[in-house]
Amino acid sequence: MYNDLLADVSLLTIEVRVKFFIFVLAVLATDEKYNEAMLSTAKRLAVAIDGLPDPGGPKFKDNKRESNFKTKEETEEKRGQFSLVVGGLLVIAFVVPMAQYYAYVSKK
């Protein structure tokens, strides 16, 4: 059965196979539907092997994805606060262990 299928697929030109796979994968991968991309490609190839007209691939939806990153202006506004917090944490990270060591050594 598989040998017959492989023989039939080899009758299709490389361009047809690539067109089916790349177009379908490109459209459905944007929605992370990889399994559906493989299944619809297999169905379209089966139809092409049978000599029937191509039912067409999935329609490309122009999904405008909005970025969740802060803009440069928003980042610049809060840079001073973040610098103060990071600097304070660095000072604490160095001073506390030194104070603990001093307290430990001074008891002897």
Model pLDDT for residues 53-99, shown as the tens digit of each residue: 766 666 666 666 677 888 888 888 888 889 999 999 999 999 999 99
Measure the CA–CA gap between 13 and 49, rounded to whole angstroms. 11
Q: Does residue 53 contact residue 33 with C-beta atoms inside 8 Å?
A: no
Quick one: pLDDT band at residue 43, thresholds 50, 70, 90? confident
Q: Parse the chain into domains and list their residue ranges.
A: 2-49
What is the number of other CB atoms lying within 10 angstroms of the CB of residue 41? Answer: 19
pTM over 0.85: no
Q: What pLDDT score does 91 carry?
A: 95
Q: What pLDDT score does 21 carry?
A: 67
Query: Phi and psi at residue 60, in whole multiples of 5°?
Result: -80, 120
Q: What pLDDT score does 40 carry?
A: 76
Query: What residue has token string 């603990």?
Result: 100
